[in-house]
Amino acid sequence: MATPAPGVESGTQEELRAIESARQAAVDSTPRPEWLNVLFALTVGVAFGFAVLRTPTGWTVGAVVFVVGLVGFLVIDTHLKRRTGGLLNVSGRNALRFFLMYAIIFVLGQIQPPISWQPWFAIAAGLSVAIAGYIYLRWDAADTAKKLATGDFESSDLMP
């Protein structure tokens, strides 16, 4: 292939840089609001906290909080959303992250603390799940944003 003239090359590189910066700008201007991630993680944490009280009332309140929180999250997310087309993150790194988050939920769910530990155990468990969930959401969002901005995906990977 013939070497392009210096002017052509710099113009082309400028164009490629413009493409990269437009991609980055599009990704940067359309993230899910951080407060929504925090709110959702807290809702899941509160629901889990009620559930580990291990009483019928606790289970019921936990289930209601979870369902209402999930529906609210989906409605608000749909309303605020400025992009469609996330990436299904099936990387090994993401699987490990999900496993770590799920392991915290699983282990805390198996513990049967003495009655005297409540409600502090429920509060601590709920808080742990909320923090783990929030870290997972942020980590996954950052990974996806990086891939979208750099074009490190196939167009068929974009989910509607």
Partner 1 sequence: MTQQPDTFDELIHSPVRLKICAALATATALEFTAIEDALRISTSTLSKQLGVLGEAGYVTLDKRKQPFGRPRTWVSLTRKGRRAFDAHVAALRRLIGDDVTP
- Nearest-approach distance from CB 11 to partner 1, in angstroms: 9
Nearer to partner 1, 2 or 115 (CB): 2
Can you give the binding site for partner 1, defined by CB under 8 A? 1, 3-4, 8-9, 12-13, 15-16, 18-20, 22-23, 25-30, 75, 78-79, 81-85, 148-151, 155, 158-160
Nearer to partner 1, 16 or 103 (CB): 16
Nearer to partner 1, 16 or 111 (CB): 16
Nearer to partner 1, 39 or 135 (CB): 39
Contact 70, 42 (CB under 8 A): no
Task: Report d(CA 92, CA 122) in Å as an integer.
Answer: 32
Nearer to partner 1, 75 or 96 (CB): 75
Task: Report d(CA 36, CA 123) in Å as an integer.
Answer: 21
- Nearest-approach distance from CB 145 to partner 1, in angstroms: 9
Half-sphere exposure of 26 (CA within 13 A, CB side): 14
- Nearest-approach distance from CB 100 to partner 1, in angstroms: 28
- Nearest-approach distance from CB 99 to partner 1, in angstroms: 28
Provide the residue type at 6 as one letter: P
- Nearest-approach distance from CB 29 to partner 1, in angstroms: 4
Phi then psi dihedrals of residue 3, to 5 deg: -75, 130
Phi-psi region of 114 (alpha: psi -120 to 50; beta: other; left: phi over 0): beta
Residue 112: CB atoms within 10 Å = 9
